[in-house]
Amino acid sequence: MGVRDVASYVAGQWIGPDDGAREIASALNGQVIARAGHSRLDTQAMLDHARTVGGPALRAMTFHDRARMLKALALHLDAHKQPLYDLSFETGATQTDHLIDVDGGIGTALVFASKGRRELPDGHVYVDGEVEQLSRKGTFVGQHICTPRPGVAVHINAFNFPVWGMLEKLAPTLLAGVPAIIKPATATCYVSEAAVRILLDSELLPEGALQLVSGGLGDMLDRLTCQDMVSFTGSATTALKLRQTPALLENAVRFVAEQDSLNASILGPDVAPGTEEFDLFLREVQREMTVKAGQKCTAIRRILVPCAQVEAVIAGLRAALGQITIGDPRLEPPHTGALHMGALVSAAQRRDVLEKAALIGQEATRVFGDPDTFPTLGADKDTGAFVPPMLYHCTDPDGAQHVHHTEVFGPVSTVMGYRDLRHAADLANRGQGSLVASVITADLSVARDLALNIAAFHGRIYINNATSMAEATGHGSPLPHLVHGGPGRAGGGEELGGIRAVKHYMQRTAVQGSPEILSAITGTWVPGSTEETGPDHPFTRRFEELSIGETLHCPARLISSDDIDQFATFTGDTFYAHMDDAAAARNPFFPGRVAHGYLLLSFAAGMFVQPDEGHVLANTGLDSLRFMKPVTPGDSIKVRLTVKAKTRRTDAYGEVRWHVTLTNQTDEPVAEYDLLTMVAT
């Protein structure tokens, strides 16, 4: 390939590199393949474009609109991903690495799209938590809401995952309704630029929702305000430098860092050679040392094993790592038979890895891998950024410093022996904050002990054994459903984690007022606010014809001893509190014999249901059920059914959330819950 000019997308226009451009070399042979960067970038124009064009367009969409857009974007990228594979080879990545980066990024976007439809409202306000009653009579209440910030999210991404690293931040940002300016690491920005072009060419994004900086950010961070956000992935050194930007400090700009860390994997004391767990441990370490040539923020850097198993683990890892073939990833099977690892991203990264590995070598002995002598397939190790997997053994992990504080961002890891579980936890925590620690054990007490003693220092704990290994995703695989981040050295922030990641780009605000005020703001009926009476039974009308707050009041029904007896006989629920008056009276919660709670729910359904075929298609759930006061024979119950919220699911039907309240003959609350039904449109 020739030298590629990598452009930036600025305020609706592609702008190529100028005299301030930096040359980018192939990881495979050191030849210049691209140039990117600008001597001057109009950062204020980019910020203004995002705030005044992209932001309003995104905020005009509902959460579901944005989720549908996100799904369409992911599917479009999936249909056009081959050019990303082709370019990614130049970063030193193998086809397996492409699947993690490109397909993993697309999959992450699809998860957020799905969660957006299932867990967010088809509206503009996210309700965070339940209503808090702040006054005796309930006329003054409070609730937390989340709304999109009217600023811009600046994403500063690392070089190792030019697609996944972009999409795992972009997906929750767009879902939140916030425009993004993406700044990929220059070393691999040509892959990110290609992905951004595919996304923009889809014409699915509103103008201004996505911009790209290929090269340096210039003075952009100096121009951020209190409504803007910065999400960073990379080294602790760079994160510290960015955090100290005066504008970020003065304006309290939200800054989230996901930093490289010294992640550990712990072999449980119950695991011995020859067991499935022992072989699993070796596979996990081998994979995490060699996938992406060890250039993963979640890679295993420290291997903690019982002292009695140190030699067996080293022997096993030598054998496993000895099977790894290194070379040009474009020559993968069927051409070569078995290529497992490509190159580091650049010659500079190779130098950094070798320098830091030398520091590890001051405290540990290299037991596998020689950076001066190793074979490469279809490539020259001296012109490409190749290094072999290197395994070290530290005999004094308590006295060592570098193995716990120096991260070698490449295929390098160190074996250390531990005496007992407390010692293992102490060594794991010596990293002073990590993204992930893994534990391979079949002993439940070992898993619990380690989890309780290392959780405070780790963002994720991955525990695997023979029971879960067939379906487990791996030590180094952050999932969009769970948080990715960690304390201390790992940056102190969080990414991913489902809707938690979306809320990061929104402002949580406490709203106080009358129930009617809260209902008007949230679009969700709050008990105590206005009730409306519909023209007929609500089950006879379509989804769009129902109004929030529409309420059906049902006449009272007497609960008799015969009702309780028949329900007990029919269901088999003959719990003493329902059948034995004297025994029930000895229970401090009951005055005597009481009706079954589920009898009350069943009667309530019979009281509010409209039996004819109509627009209610199915009941799909019951949430937040509470029984507040027992019902005894001779009591009556009344039912109130209110349209609490509505969410369109497809063109054919929508979900209606009904608030159901049961009261007795003196209007005291007996039970309440939310009923979910699908109603035809």
List residues with catalytic annotation: 258, 297
Distances (CA, A) of 317 to 156, 225, 288, 390: 35, 50, 12, 10
Helix/strand/coil for 326? strand
For CA atoms 176, 182, 184, 190, give the dihedral sign. positive
CB count in 10 Å sphere of residue 423: 17
Q: What distance in Å separates the CA atoms of residue 402 and residue 357, rounded to the nearest whole number?
A: 10
Map tokens 């904050």 to a residue: 433
Distances (CA, A) of 225 to 244, 249, 530, 676: 15, 10, 40, 42
Nearest to 263 by CA among 288, 283, 291, 229: 288
What would the two tokens of residue 29 be? 């042979």
Q: Residue 267 carries which DSSP code?
A: E
CB count in 10 Å sphere of residue 581: 17
Nearest to 677 by CA among 662, 665, 664, 659: 659
State CA 422 to chain mean position distance: 30
State CA 246 to chain mean position distance: 30
Give residue 640's identity as a one-letter amino acid code: R
For residue 334, cis peptide bond before it (omega within 30 degrees of 0)? yes
Give 653's contacts (C-beta < 8 A, 6+ positions apart).
Answer: 543, 617, 678, 679, 680, 681
Q: What is the chain's length?
A: 681
Alpha helices in 481-631 (DSSP H): 499-504, 515-522, 561-571, 576-579, 581-585, 597-608
Instruction: Find residue 391's DSSP bridge partners.
Output: 368, 413
Give 80's contacts (C-beta < 8 A, 6+ positions apart).
Answer: 198
CA dihedral 140, 144, 148, 150 (to 10 degrees): 60
Map tokens 């867990």 to a residue: 119
Percentages of the chain per state (helix, strand, coil), in multiples of 5:
35, 25, 35
Bridge-based pairing of strands 229-234 and 210-212 is: unpaired
Distances (CA, A) of 199 to 79, 103, 270, 459, 644: 11, 15, 50, 31, 37
Q: What distance in Å separates the CA atoms of residue 524 and residue 114, rounded to the nearest whole number?
A: 22
End-to-end CA distance of the chain: 54
